[in-house]
């Protein structure tokens, strides 16, 4: 619907675009295609190409590409290993999302990113298995593990701080809200309902 009035190149596959846009609202999708049209116009193209659309998605989901910054080969190598750690563990997990994109281009607050395509049904229903959530924790830790294997434990960086937050939040929700702890058992530890006076 949002692509109807846009002149798309022959390389654009809207099904592939949709896989990267799961969970986006109609307004978000319109924004993606408008951004893609702007990228295309700046390059004086006659059609919106696939690369323009995916650059627009990255800009909206992750942030602006940091322009003008130069990074050493060593830094780029480290980010490559870090992101490969996430991707490798994601690929090895039987019940996990497919790797959609890996980038070591700094955007927003990230030095690099590994993007997974979530399963549409699970995302819409909000129902995830315990195995999937445990795999999410493992995948989040993959970047730090890769750093340790390549650099040694004394040379790891702060690059995994957001990964730790994600892993900790997932584990906390599993235990406190979803009753998925083998030790505590099936109970909610957070009282979300107001207690009567």
> What average pLDDT does the segment 143-172 reach?
94
* Annotated catalytic residue within 15, 49, 65, 83: 83
Q: Total structural domains in the chain?
A: 2
Q: Based on the domain organization, do 104 and 128 belong to the same domain?
A: yes
Residues 29 and 53 in one domain: yes
CA–CA gap between residue 106 and residue 64 (Å, rounded): 8
Q: Are 99 and 116 in contact (CB under 8 A)?
A: yes
Mean pLDDT on 20-30: 83
56 within a domain of the structure (yes/no): yes
| Burial grade of 176 (CB within 10 A; 0-12, 13-18, 19 or more) | middle
- pLDDT at residue number 130: 94
Place of tokens 């900790």: 168
pLDDT at 40: 92
Question: Is pLDDT at 197 greater than 60 in this prediction?
Answer: no
Instruction: Count each helix (H run) and each strand (E run) in the chain, helices first.
Output: 7, 2
Question: What distance in Å separates the CA atoms of residue 157 and residue 45, rounded to the nearest whole number?
Answer: 41
Domain coverage including residue 38: 14-61
pLDDT > 90 fraction of the chain, expressed in percent and rounded: 44
Residue 105 pLDDT class (50, 70, 90 cuts): confident
Instruction: Write down the pTM of the prediction.
Output: 0.77
Active site residue 124: no
Note whether 18 and 95 are same-domain residues. Answer: no
Mean pLDDT of 32-50: 91
Tell me: do 18 and 92 sit in the same domain.
no
Residue 13: band (very low, low, confident or very high) from pLDDT cuts 50, 70, 90: confident
Residues 40 and 129 in one domain: no
CA dihedral over 91, 93, 94, 96, signed as positive or negative: negative
Query: Are 30 and 21 in contact, with CB atoms under 8 Å apart?
Result: no
Residue 189 has pLDDT above 60, yes or no: yes
Confidence category of residue 138, pLDDT binned at 50, 70, 90? very high
Q: Exposed, middle or buried, 51 (CB in 10 Å: 0-12/13-18/19+)? A: middle
Task: Report how far residue 34's alpha carbon sits from residue 23's, in angstroms, rounded to the nearest whole number.
Answer: 18
- 38 and 79: one domain? no
CB 81 within 8 A of CB 150: yes
Distance CA 7, CA 64 (A): 24
Do 53 and 94 fall within a single domain?
Answer: no
Q: What pLDDT is attached to residue 176?
A: 92
């Amino acid at each position: 619907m949002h692509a109807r009035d846009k002149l798309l190149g022959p390389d654009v596959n809207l099904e592939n675009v949709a896989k990267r846009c799961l969970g986006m609202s109609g307004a978000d999708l319109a924004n993606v295609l408008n951004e893609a049209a702007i990228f295309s116009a700046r390059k004086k193209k006659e059609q919106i190409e696939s690369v323009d659309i995916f650059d627009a998605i990255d800009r909206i989901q992750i942030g602006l590409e940091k322009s003008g910054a130069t990074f050493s080969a060593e830094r780029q190598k480290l980010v490559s290993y870090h992101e490969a750690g996430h991707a490798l563990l994601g690929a090895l997990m039987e019940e996990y999302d497919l790797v959609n994109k890996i980038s070591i281009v700094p955007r927003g607050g990230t030095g690099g990113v590994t993007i997974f395509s979530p399963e549409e049904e699970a995302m819409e229903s909000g129902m995830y298995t315990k195995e999937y959530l445990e795999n999410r924790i493992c995948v989040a830790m993959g970047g730090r593990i890769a750093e340790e294997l390549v650099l040694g434990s004394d040379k790891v960086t702060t690059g995994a701080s957001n990964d730790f937050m994600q892993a900790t939040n997932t584990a906390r929700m599993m235990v406190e809200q979803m009753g998925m702890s083998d030790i505590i058992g099936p109970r909610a530890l957070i009282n979300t309902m107001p207690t009567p006076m």
